[in-house]
Structure 1
């Protein structure tokens, strides 16, 4: 494979800071197809259209897919996946993670994949190894994962400006991958093949679980009679996010980071009474927060002991985290058998 394949964009694909790019300065324009007109594919194809590429075909069967394609890719026909590949030099495979391996195998097995065809998937979980059947058929594999949640509307195209993309590609296609991401308005961030599952888990913890936490908090505020919990939480959560991104663990605040065991115990007792479904999550996050505050030196040994006792006792009462798991002392040493469970997830992109 060659990074300067005649149909591939090269490193000149980014915008020229000195002014609008001339047609002769642009990399080769590609015909673009989308397999899976969900929330992601049409937005990326629309962004590529703005960069001068030509969306020519898409596949989608649901009414929602058809509406998205009509809004974001007007005039682009909806055809079956094999026909999308037949018409396109660059194919975006934007299907759910679990459907991707079978889709790639099926397209390769039926001869739909052509030598020299750029095949791009947008899954966070997979690198390029999932495209191996298509690679054997001569395709050029890229994994370009936009680190953003999508609405399925035109606002997504605007949000791609400055959006990071987790990129995995063969070394000889590195320039092509970077050029495509930059043309969509994004910023390429290289992720090794073997690191993709951990990379994706990190994004799920940060984005998907954040939405759950925010909505749990809003539900609890509504239960107290607060009329506009979103308005109350907006400035607080915005400041917490900004501080966390800027300062890391130094931004930790609140009763757990301070070691206010009595306050934490009162929280848990009230949650058990009013919203028992939130207790396990509270305990898990409180324990994780305590561990980080200890490691960063914010939480001192004496208050940490009392706090960890409250969390361990509460976990044991409810059968949640801390009941039978490993307990660490103020210095991080293990104080009992067992291990804490893992929490996983999947980024909604």
Structure 2
């Protein structure tokens, strides 16, 4: 007789949790959907805007939209996926209104905060976790796939460390332990590498379009992919271009063109070029005899010559939810 073996259904695993999401921005529904694939049960989600409701409907179909207090009432694991500046007040309000239950797992996804921000909930008996996915989110199903192999910055009390790491692994991620006091530095590093990269790429595409390039994205794709790969492999040794070579004349021409055609990009160009020169010099890539002239070009005061428009700061989204 032939016996057919079937893989176990994730829903048959022990200790499956009822999962709730407070804040249906781009992050929360994706994390809950990934936990659902591991056999957990999304049971409730809160959302404010039409966009958040659409995200919840797409990634968590048939999961009811309710108030934050009702999310906590139905859930054993609550994902607090709201912007950093909203998180402390949310936690305080939930604790003060008695929404937090003893023994309830409360996990936020802020990169800035560790578990200290959950202290009001901890006093109410909650079990605090900080699980920050080092990923940019689109608010679509592709985010669930991208979580495979994604690093999570994990902070939790020692007695909850294994539980926190297990949840990350179930979402397909790789836990990386971050000490409480190091969370702001950790988050600054990610913002520098990810958020600022988007600004640089967007500016580069705009300049290429202004120069007459028909498909800036197609031109930049291979170049940026190679640059990123080289940087991750080799660090400063991957530096190339006029700054690392000490081509002061070329850099001066760049500055003049940006001042004339895109003055809003000049402060960023100067700041990054100075940082690049410093790193190239320290790494021995930029010859000291060439550095003086280059730094002189970069050190010129351009404050009164850059009256172009300025960009606005990054927003958190339209609905008070984590919209990374």
Same fold by TM-score, threshold 0.5 exceeded?
yes
Report the counterpart of residue 275 of structure 2 in structure 1.
288
Superposed, which structure 2 residues align to 1:215-254 within 5 Å? 215-254=202-241
- Give per-residue Cα distances to partners, 1:35-69, cap 9 Å, x unaligned: 01111101100000000000000111211111111
Alpha-carbon contact 1:205-1:345 (below 8 Å) kept: no
Post-superposition shift, 1:300? 1.1
Q: Given the alignment, which residue of 188, 191, 203 partners 1:204?
A: 191
Alpha-carbon contact 1:92-1:121 (below 8 Å) kept: yes
Q: Given the alignment, which residue of 313, 317, 334 partners 2:302?
A: 317
1:155 matched to 2:142? The reply is: yes
Gap change, CA 1:348 and 1:41, over 3 Å in 2? closer
Q: Secondary structure at the match of 2:213?
A: coil
Q: Secondary structure at the match of 1:98?
A: coil
Post-superposition shift, 1:348? 6.0
Gap change, CA 1:109 and 1:65, over 3 Å in 2? same
Task: Give the unaligned 5+ runs of structure 1.
Answer: 1-18, 322-342
Report the counterpart of residue 302 of structure 1 in structure 2.
289
Report the counterpart of residue 107 of structure 2 in structure 1.
120
1:89 matched to 2:76? The reply is: yes
Post-superposition shift, 1:122? 0.3
Q: Distance in 2 between matches of 1:243 and 1:205?
A: 18
Q: Secondary structure at the match of 2:299?
A: helix
Q: Given the alignment, which residue of 113, 116, 123 partners 1:129?
A: 116
- Give per-residue Cα distances to partners, 1:302-321, cap 9 Å, x unaligned: 000110111112xx133599
Task: Give the unaligned 5+ runs of structure 2.
Answer: 1-5, 307-312, 317-321
Q: Secondary structure at the match of 2:64?
A: coil
Q: Secondary structure at the match of 2:45?
A: strand
**How many residues are aligned here?**
308
- Give per-residue Cα distances to partners, 1:229-282, cap 9 Å, x unaligned: 000000000000000000000000000000011110111011111111111001
Gap change, CA 1:21 and 1:258, over 3 Å in 2? farther
Return the structure number with greater relative CO, CA threshold 8 A, min gap 6: 2
Alpha-carbon contact 1:280-1:320 (below 8 Å) kept: no
Q: Distance in 1 between matches of 2:70 and 2:209?
A: 51
Q: Distance in 2 between matches of 1:177 and 1:150?
A: 21
Question: Superposition RMSD on alpha carbons, in Å?
Answer: 2.1
Gap change, CA 1:154 and 1:25, over 3 Å in 2? closer
Post-superposition shift, 1:344? 11
Gap change, CA 1:226 and 1:23, over 3 Å in 2? closer
Gap change, CA 1:27 and 1:187, over 3 Å in 2? farther
